[in-house]
Structure 1
Amino acid sequence: MKNFFTQNKRSIFGGIAAATFTGLGAFLLGDISGYEAKSLITSSIDGINMLCNTILLASATILALLLTLLGISTGTESKIKKAHYKQVLNIAKFDTVLFVGSLVLFQLFNIPITESESLPTYWFAYIYWATLFFSSVLSGLMVTVILLLYSTVTNIISIVGLGEDHYLVNKEE
Structure 2
Amino acid sequence: MKISGYTKRAIIGGIISLGFIGLGTFMLGNLSGYEAKVLIKSSLTGLNTLCNTIVLASATILALMLTLLGVSSGTNSTLKNDHYMHIMQIAKLDTAIFIASLLFFLVFNLPVTESENIPENWFDFIYYVTIAVSAILSSALIVVVLMLYNTIINIIKIIGLGKTDHPLIQQDDDDNDE
Q: Does TM-score exceed 0.5, indicating one fold? A: yes
| Residue equivalent to 2:138 | 139
| Residue equivalent to 2:74 | 75
Residue type of the partner of 1:92?
A
| SS of 1:4 mapped into structure 2 | coil
Give 1:123 deviation, angstroms.
1.1
Distance in 2 separating the partners of 1:51 and 1:31: 24
Asked if the contact 2:6/2:150 (under 8 Å) is kept, the reply is no
| Residue equivalent to 1:31 | 30
Distance in 2 separating the partners of 1:115 and 1:96: 32
Indicate yes or no: 2:169 matched with 1:169: yes
Give 1:172 deviation, angstroms.
1.3
Alignment of 1:1-173 (within 5 A): 1=1, 3-4=2-3, 6-165=5-164, 166-172=166-172
Distance in 1 separating the partners of 2:128 and 2:7: 29
Give 1:6 deviation, angstroms.
4.0
Give 1:7 deviation, angstroms.
4.3
Distance in 2 separating the partners of 1:30 and 1:53: 28
Give 1:83 deviation, angstroms.
0.4
Asked if the contact 2:21/2:135 (under 8 Å) is kept, the reply is yes
Residues 5 and 34 of structure 1: is their aligned pair in 2 closer, same or farther, counting only changes over 3 Å?
farther
Asked if the contact 2:6/2:147 (under 8 Å) is kept, the reply is no
| Residue equivalent to 2:176 | none
Residues 162 and 5 of structure 1: is their aligned pair in 2 closer, same or farther, counting only changes over 3 Å?
closer
Residue type of the partner of 1:90?
Q
| SS of 1:56 mapped into structure 2 | helix
Residue type of the partner of 1:167?
P
Matched positions, count? 172
Q: Gaps (5+ residues) in structure 1?
A: none
Asked if the contact 2:78/2:170 (under 8 Å) is kept, the reply is yes
Structure 1, 42-51 or 6-15: larger mean CA deviation: 6-15
Distance in 1 separating the partners of 2:122 and 2:20: 25
Residue type of the partner of 1:10?
R
Q: Which runs of 4+ in 1 moved over 4 A?
A: none
Identity %: 53
Give 1:5 deviation, angstroms.
5.5
Q: Gaps (5+ residues) in structure 2?
A: 174-178
Distance in 2 separating the partners of 1:112 and 1:131: 14
| SS of 2:3 mapped into structure 1 | helix
1:48-101 per-residue CA deviation (whole Å, 9 max, x = no partner) reads 111111111100000011111001111111101000000100100111111111
